[in-house]
Amino acid sequence: MTPAIVCRNLTKQFGAFRAVDAISFDVQPGEIFGFLGANGAGKTTAMRMLCGLSYPTSGEATVAGYDVYREQEKIKRKIGYMSQKFSLYENLTVRENITFFGGIYGLSDKVLKEKREAMIGTLGLSNEAGKLVGSLPLGWKQKLAFSVAVLHDPAIVFLDEPTGGVDPITRRQFWDLIYAAADRGITVFVTTHYMDEAEYCDRISIMVDGRIEALDAPRLLKERYHAADMQDVFYQLARKAVRSDN
């Protein structure tokens, strides 16, 4: 099977500063791939290159089979993206947001209507469908933003710290949505600072100062680093970091 993402020595330099330093990995279709690293490690910079939002300085990568230098527009049509600030319009209602993004993704009126009503039902938002998104609790906004990011059944969805600032139960519900998407064959590429979420991933990479220091299934990483949990694995690797954005 062709990998969903192929990344070879991908590098991003800002002047003399190497934010992402020759990272290499593959992500398989349908995989949930966790992309971990301390603040400033280079995760967002790497993700922006893979999403076709910025050009690499050097190295190679394909996303959904498309080249990150030459085929950025094709990549954008094949992916979903949810940024830390999630991209919903606070001054539109739940239903209007879904309709708006469905239109951008080019869904037909009929498909859009079906998907919209199904989504509102699945998320339990029937009573909120006519309310402004700005009035919803953060956890609901995040679940809605994720559902909108996969509305067009992309090959890959990129999630940049999608669950920041919400409680563990809401995060667990969010992950149920991620699993459901992966079951539908959508590849999930997710950054997180929560180590319980790292445990939910099929494989994770840990970035330190722009480089990937470790990459494997959580269970194998715990064995390798003689760690009781991912928190400990992460700490052993990330404490070597010189860089800090804090």
Ligand X SMILES: Nc1ncnc2c1ncn2[C@@H]1O[C@H](COP(=O)(O)OP(=O)(O)OP(=O)(O)O)[C@@H](O)[C@H]1O
Kindly list the residues in this chain that would bind ligand X in the complex (CB under 6 A).
14, 17, 19, 37, 39-45, 243, 245
> CB of residue 54 vs ligand X: minimum separation in angstroms?
8
Instruction: Between 39 and 91, name the residue whose CB sits nearer to ligand X.
Output: 39
> CB of residue 68 vs ligand X: minimum separation in angstroms?
16
- What DSSP state is assigned to residue 83? -
Residue pair 203/217 in contact by the 8 Å Cβ criterion: yes
Q: At what angle do helices 168-183 and 138-149 cross, to 10 degrees?
A: 10
Instruction: Between 44 and 97, name the residue whose CB sits nearer to ligand X.
Output: 44
Tell the residue number behind the tokens 């830390």, with chain if given. Answer: 84
> CB of residue 164 vs ligand X: minimum separation in angstroms?
10
Instruction: Between 15 and 110, name the residue whose CB sits nearer to ligand X.
Output: 15
Instruction: Between 113 and 193, name the residue whose CB sits nearer to ligand X.
Output: 193
Distance CA 137, CA 124 (A): 13
Instruction: Between 37 and 56, name the residue whose CB sits nearer to ligand X.
Output: 37
Instruction: Between 42 and 59, name the residue whose CB sits nearer to ligand X.
Output: 42
> CB of residue 37 vs ligand X: minimum separation in angstroms?
5
Q: In what order do the strands lie in the sheet with 32-37?
A: 79-82, 156-160, 187-191, 32-37, 203-208, 211-216
> CB of residue 15 vs ligand X: minimum separation in angstroms?
7
Spell out the alpha helix ranges (H) of the chain. 43-50, 72-78, 94-104, 109-122, 138-149, 168-183, 195-200, 218-224, 230-238
Which of these, 199, 189, 178, lies nearest to 6 by C-alpha position?
189
Number of CB atoms found within 10 A of residue 215's CB? 20
Instruction: Between 14 and 55, name the residue whose CB sits nearer to ligand X.
Output: 14
Q: Tokens at residue 70, please? A: 């030459």
> CB of residue 17 vs ligand X: minimum separation in angstroms?
6
> CB of residue 242 vs ligand X: minimum separation in angstroms?
11
Q: Tokens at residue 162, please? A: 């999608």
